[in-house]
C-alpha cells in the first residue's frame, strides 16, 4: 500500500528499533527529563532532536535512509594517479563525495522494465561481525559495485568513519616550561551523536604523542600495543564471570563486576566530560565512549565537599570505598549519603555488579549519554603539559581512533561462555570465542601534527 511504502522511507520506521529502552527508571533521566525508562540505544531520538533544529533553521534534515541507504558519504571513481588504497577506496581509484540521499540510477533487478533511483541495502555502519561464520571476504573485499561502493564492509566502514569528524589542532602555545595543546573534534557527518547505537561500548579516542627537539617523548596518551590491548585509563585487576558466589536468596554476587584501578592515562579534565559541555582543560585520555552508572553510598569518609574518600584499608580499587545505595526502579530515586552525581559510580558492563565480589548482577541504574559528540558542535580538549626540561621546537602528533568494542568486554564474555560450555550449558559450543578477539580492529579516522616553537 502507498502509505506503507511512504512510512518505510521515514526515519520513524528506523526509530522502531534504533531507540532501545531498558526496564526501570534512569536516575539521571528521571531527575533531568522526567523519563521513566533507561536509554540504552538512542540514535533515533538524537536524530530527531537534530532534525528539529535543522527545520527551525530552515534547512532540510537528512533522513536515516538518506545516509545509510544511499551513496553517502561518497564513492570510489577510477583515477590511476590516486594514492594507493586510501580512505577505503582501492588502488587506482579516488574518493569522490556524495551528499546524503544521493542514489545511483539503474534497475533494481535484471527483469525490471524501467530504471530509476536505487536505494543501497548495504546499511553501512560501524560494526563488523566478530563471528568466524561471517566470511573474511565480506569484510575485506575492495571490489566496487556498479555505483562505485566497495563490496566489503571494512572499506565502507572506513569511508563512513573518516568523513564523520573534523579533527585538528587549534593554536598551541608555550610559556616557559608549560605547553598548551588544544585538540578540536567536530561531528560534521552524522545527524546523531557519535558514537551512536551501543555507545557505552564503542571507543572513539585520541592518541597523542609530544616530543622535544631531540626526539624524546615528553608526553603520550591513548597508545595501545595492539587491537587486543585495552586503553590505559583504567586497569582491570580482576573480573568475575562466574555465578558461584551468591547471597542468602541465591542471587549471584559480583558476576560481571570488576576490581578496577586508575591507569596512567586516567582522565583529569575540567569540567568532567560526563556532565556534558564542549570545552575542557587538563590531561589524560579523551574517549567519546558513553557509560553505565550505579547508585552507591559511601562507606569510606565523606569529606567537607561531599566527596567519598577512602577510609582505613580502602583505596586499593576504585569501588572499595562504596557500597550499593538504595535505588528505586520505579521512581529512579537514588538514596545515598552522597548527593547528585557523586552518588553515581561508573561500572563497565551492560549487566554487572559493583565490583568483582560485591553487588547483585543487574542493569545499570543510570546511563551516561553526554560524552559522545553531538552533531555540529565543536569540542575542544586543551592539554596542559610540562616540557620536562625538553628543548623546543616541540612536535605533537594526534590520531583519532575507533574500535567497536573494548577488549576487556570481549575477554569477559569469552571467559563466561567457556565456563557455560564446560558446565554443559552450550550444546553447540561457546557463543563468544578467542577468535572473535582476533577480529577486533582499530580504524584510524584522522591524523594531524603540529610544531610548537
Which one, of 265, 263, 264, lies nearest residue 205 by Cα?
A: 265
Whether residue 87 is contained in a domain is answered as: yes
pTM value is: 0.95
In a domain, 52, yes or no: yes
- Asked, for residue 279, whether it belongs to a domain, the answer is no
Amino acid 199: pLDDT: 95
Is residue 85 predicted with pLDDT exceeding 70? Answer: no
Q: Is residue 112 part of a domain?
A: no
For residue 1, is it within any domain?
A: no
Cell of 57: 533553521
pLDDT at 447: 97
Residue 75 lies in a domain: yes
Share above pLDDT 70 across residues of the chain, in percent, rounded to a whole number:
100
Q: Whole-angstrom Cα distance, residue 264 to residue 117? A: 52
Report pLDDT for 218: 98
22 or 283, which is more confident: 283
Q: What is the pLDDT of residue 319?
A: 98
Residue 95 covered by a domain: yes
Q: Is 64 left (phi over 0), alpha (psi -120 to 50) or beta?
A: alpha
217 alpha-carbon distance from chain centroid:
28
> Residue 373 falls within a domain, yes or no?
no
Across the chain, mean pLDDT equals 95
- Angle between helices 43-56 and 11-18 in degrees, nearest 10: 150
The helix (run of H) or strand (run of E) holding residue 413 is helix 407-422
pLDDT in tens, 199-257: 999 999 999 999 999 999 999 999 999 999 999 999 999 999 999 999 999 999 999 99
Domain count, the chain: 1
| Per-residue pLDDT at 309 | 98
**Structural domain range at position 35:** 17-103+118-162
The pLDDT score that the predictor gives to residue 108 is 76
Amino acid at each position: 500500500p502507498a502509505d506503507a511504502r511512504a512510512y518505510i522511507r521515514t526515519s520513524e520506521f528506523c526509530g522502531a528499533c534504533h531507540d532501545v529502552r531498558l526496564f526501570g527508571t534512569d536516575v539521571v533521566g528521571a531527575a533531568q527529563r522526567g523519563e521513566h525508562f533507561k536509554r540504552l540505544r538512542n540514535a533515533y531520538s538524537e536524530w530527531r532532536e537534530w532534525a528539529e533544529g535543522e527545520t527551525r533553521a530552515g534547512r532540510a534534515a537528512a533522513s536515516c535512509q538518506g545516509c545509510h541507504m544511499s551513496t553517502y558519504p561518497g564513492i570510489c571513481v577510477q583515477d590511476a594517479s590516486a594514492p594507493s588504497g586510501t580512505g577505503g577506496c582501492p588502488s587506482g581509484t579516488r574518493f569522490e563525495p556524495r551528499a546524503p540521499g544521493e542514489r545511483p540510477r539503474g534497475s533494481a533487478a535484471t527483469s525490471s522494465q524501467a530504471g530509476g533511483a536505487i536505494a543501497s541495502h548495504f546499511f553501512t555502519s560501524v560494526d563488523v561481525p566478530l563471528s568466524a561464520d561471517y566470511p573474511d571476504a565480506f569484510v575485506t573485499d575492495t571490489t566496487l559495485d556498479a555505483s562505485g561502493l566497495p563490496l566489503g564492509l571494512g572499506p565502507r566502514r572506513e569511508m563512513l568513519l573518516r568523513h564523520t569528524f573534523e579533527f585538528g589542532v587549534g593554536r598551541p602555545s608555550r610559556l616557559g616550561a608549560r605547553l598548551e595543546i588544544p585538540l578540536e573534534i567536530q561531528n560534521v557527518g552524522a545527524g546523531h551523536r557519535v558514537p551512536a547505537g551501543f555507545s557505552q561500548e564503542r571507543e572513539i579516542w585520541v592518541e597523542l604523542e609530544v616530543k622535544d627537539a631531540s626526539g624524546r617523548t615528553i608526553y603520550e596518551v591513548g597508545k595501545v600495543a595492539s587491537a587486543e590491548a585495552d586503553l590505559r585509563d583504567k586497569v582491570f585487576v580482576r573480573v568475575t564471570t562466574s555465578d558461584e558466589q551468591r547471597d542468602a536468596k541465591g542471587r549471584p554476587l559480583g558476576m560481571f563486576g570488576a576490581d578496577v584501578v586508575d591507569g596512567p592515562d586516567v582522565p583529569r579534565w575540567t569540567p568532567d566530560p560526563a556532565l556534558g559541555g564542549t570545552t575542557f582543560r587538563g590531561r589524560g585520555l579523551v574517549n567519546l565512549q558513553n557509560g553505565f552508572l550505579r547508585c552507591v553510598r559511601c562507606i569510606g569518609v565523606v569529606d567537607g565537599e561531599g566527596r567519598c574518600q577512602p577510609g582505613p584499608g580502602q583505596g586499593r580499587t576504585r569501588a572499595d570505598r562504596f557500597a550499593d545505595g538504595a535505588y528505586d526502579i520505579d521512581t529512579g530515586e537514588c538514596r545515598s549519603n552522597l548527593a547528585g552525581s557523586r552518588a553515581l559510580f561508573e561500572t563497565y558492563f551492560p549487566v554487572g555488579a559493583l565490583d568483582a565480589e560485591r553487588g547483585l548482577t543487574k542493569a545499570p541504574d543510570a546511563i551516561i549519554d553526554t560524552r559522545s559528540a553531538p552533531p555540529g558542535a565543536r569540542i575542544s580538549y586543551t592539554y596542559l603539559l610540562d616540557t620536562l626540561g625538553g628543548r623546543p621546537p616541540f612536535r605533537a602528533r594526534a590520531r583519532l581512533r575507533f574500535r567497536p568494542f573494548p577488549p576487556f568486554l570481549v575477554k569477559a564474555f569469552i571467559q563466561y561462555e567457556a565456563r557455560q560450555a564446560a558446565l554443559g550449558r552450550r550444546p553447540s559450543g561457546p557463543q563468544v570465542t578467542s577468535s572473535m578477539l582476533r577480529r577486533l580492529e582499530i580504524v584510524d579516522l584522522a591524523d594531524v601534527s603540529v610544531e610548537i616553537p
